[in-house]
């Protein structure tokens, strides 16, 4: 597989210009016609600060800035690591000449966190990327306080914390044909297999003309499997569509957008959001149309609640696996749609359960994989 990662906490991304290739599989498809499955990935974080909801955005800049740039571990060429610090909404980020928020907008609503990401592409598992996140409260650090001079010497504690690793599947990618922009992501769908700790996305009709290597009539499935979660937290799948905006708002008076984003990051535990349904297993948000119809999807997990993260505490750790696998032969017909049937995700008689046999088997095979997240 191929998964470009950046210095601002993003991975498997096609940014900055939507022409770069995102998360693609198999990697050798890049030699001819890239089989793109993911447009963007990021860890979202929600917490309360002074009783107010603070939430990171999925696409908007202003949450993360580089602390240690992405680098390969010298003793292990399969492992890469990077670190970002939060809270640069009031600081200009290139190429913009002004910050995302005015200096008087949401004063003091700071997360004060470091997020260290460790990526592992093991040679024995060509279809898996392991990503470990280590989250630490660094609000008492002199370097952090230099950027945020109003921060108290001892930093601050954040409460009611939720972590949400999220990817934007884009099965087929974006291409230009005869001057027209074609986005293949609009005919995807998603579901969760709770017993496998696995969320997946797939092309609902199993037909992607842009794919090479014979995958045009058998496009694979892409999933995110939980490997290690913070102690005491519960997992809830996130099955979202593109119009489910995940942002903090870019002008005064839009804090309600940040509240809404926090509610999604929490998996619906902290408040309702229109066009979303929730259960103990999943939060499903569909802004328009039938919830079972093909659409532009986002998949991930909501982990929480974490009561608080304070300065001086050990890191809170979370590990996921991004996995790819072909559909199980004989379980589908290219061109014929298969619904996710998300009303009962525990059902093993759903057609998609059989179609996903190989990716579920891979999810079982990587269970318990350990990622060393120490600073290296």
Which tens digit of pLDDT belongs to each residue from 115-154?
A: 999 999 998 888 999 999 999 999 999 999 999 999 999 9
C-alpha neighbours within 13 Å on the C-beta side of residue 13: 17
Across 300-325, average pLDDT: 98
Would you place residue 177 in the very low, low, confident or very high pLDDT band (cuts 50, 70, 90)? low
247 Cβ partners below 8 Å, 6+ apart? 57, 58, 59, 60, 257, 258, 261
Would you place residue 17 in the very low, low, confident or very high pLDDT band (cuts 50, 70, 90)? low
231 Cβ partners below 8 Å, 6+ apart? none
C-alpha neighbours within 13 Å on the C-beta side of residue 155: 19
Strand partners, 256: none
Tokens of 254: 């839009």
pLDDT at res. 30: 72
Is the pLDDT at 34 greater than 90? The verdict is no
- For all residues of the chain together, what is the average pLDDT? 92
pLDDT at res. 119: 98
DSSP state, residue 280: S
Count, residues in the chain: 376
Across 47-66, average pLDDT: 95
pLDDT at res. 118: 98
Across 249-271, average pLDDT: 88
Neighbour tally for 173: CB within 10 Å: 25
Would you place residue 174 in the very low, low, confident or very high pLDDT band (cuts 50, 70, 90)? confident
Percent of the chain with pLDDT over 70: 95
Is the pLDDT at 253 greater than 70? The verdict is no
Is the pLDDT at 205 greater than 90? The verdict is yes
| Cα–chain center distance at 365 | 22
Is the pLDDT at 73 greater than 80? The verdict is yes
pLDDT at res. 137: 98
Would you place residue 185 in the very low, low, confident or very high pLDDT band (cuts 50, 70, 90)? confident
Strand partners, 366: none
pLDDT at res. 33: 67
pLDDT at res. 291: 75
Tokens of 350: 């759903």
pLDDT at res. 175: 67
pTM of the prediction?
0.95
Please answer whether residues 46 and 265 qualify as being in contact, where contact means their C-beta atoms are separated by less than 8 angstroms. Answer: yes
Beta strands (DSSP E) in the chain are 23-24, 36-49, 52-55, 64-73, 76-86, 113-120, 128-137, 158-169, 174-177, 180-183, 188-193, 198-203, 221-228, 234-241, 276-278, 282-285, 297-309, 316-325
Please answer whether residues 342 and 351 qualify as being in contact, where contact means their C-beta atoms are separated by less than 8 angstroms. Answer: no
Tokens of 299: 């998949």
pLDDT at res. 16: 66
Q: What is the 3-state secondary structure (H, E, C) of 116-182?
A: EEEEECCCCCCCEEEEEEEEEECCCCHHHHHHCCCCCCCCCCEEEEEEEEEEEECCCCEEEECCEEE
Q: Which helix (H) or strand (E) segment is 358 a member of?
A: helix 357-365
Please answer whether residues 175 and 199 qualify as being in contact, where contact means their C-beta atoms are separated by less than 8 angstroms. Answer: no
Across 322-336, average pLDDT: 97
| Per-residue pLDDT reduced to its tens digit, 267-311 | 999 998 878 999 999 999 987 667 788 999 999 999 999 999 999
């Amino acid at each position: 597989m191929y998964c470009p990662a950046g210095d601002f906490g993003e991975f498997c991304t096609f940014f900055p210009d939507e022409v770069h290739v995102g998360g693609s599989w198999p990697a050798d498809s890049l030699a001819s016609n890239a089989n793109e499955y993911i447009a963007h990935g990021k860890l979202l974080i929600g917490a309360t600060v002074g009783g107010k909801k603070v939430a990171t955005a999925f696409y908007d800049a202003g949450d993360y800035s580089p602390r240690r740039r992405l680098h390969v571990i010298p003793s292990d060429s399969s492992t890469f690591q990077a670190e970002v610090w939060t809270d640069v909404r009031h600081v200009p980020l290139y190429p913009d000449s002004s910050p995302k928020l005015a200096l008087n907008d949401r004063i003091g609503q700071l997360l004060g966190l470091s997020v260290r990401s460790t990526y592992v592409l093991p040679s024995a598992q060509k279809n898996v990327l392991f990503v470990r996140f280590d989250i630490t409260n660094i609000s008492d650090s002199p370097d952090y306080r230099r950027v945020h001079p109003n921060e108290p010497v001892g930093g601050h504690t954040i409460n009611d914390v939720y972590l949400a690793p999220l990817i934007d599947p884009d099965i087929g990618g974006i291409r230009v044909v005869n001057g027209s922009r074609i986005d293949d992501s609009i005919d995807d769908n998603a579901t969760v297999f709770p017993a496998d700790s696995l969320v997946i996305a797939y092309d609902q009709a199993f037909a992607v003309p842009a794919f090479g290597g014979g995958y045009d009539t058998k496009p694979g499935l892409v999933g995110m499997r939980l490997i290690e979660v913070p102690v005491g937290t519960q997992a809830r799948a996130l099955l979202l569509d593109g119009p489910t905006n995940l942002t903090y708002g870019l002008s005064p008076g839009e804090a309600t957008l940040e509240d809404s984003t926090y509610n999604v990051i929490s998996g619906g535990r902290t408040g309702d959001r229109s066009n979303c349904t929730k259960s103990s297993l999943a939060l499903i948000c569909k802004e328009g149309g039938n919830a079972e119809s093909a659409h532009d999807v986002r998949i991930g997990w909501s982990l929480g609640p974490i009561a608080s993260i304070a300065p001086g505490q050990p890191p809170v750790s979370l590990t996921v696996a991004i996995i790819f696998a072909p559909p199980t032969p004989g379980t589908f017909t290219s061109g014929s749609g298969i619904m996710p049937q998300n009303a009962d995700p525990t059902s093993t008689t759903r057609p998609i359960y059989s179609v996903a046999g190989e990716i579920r088997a891979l999810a079982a095979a990587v269970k318990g994989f350990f990622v060393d997240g120490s600073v290296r």
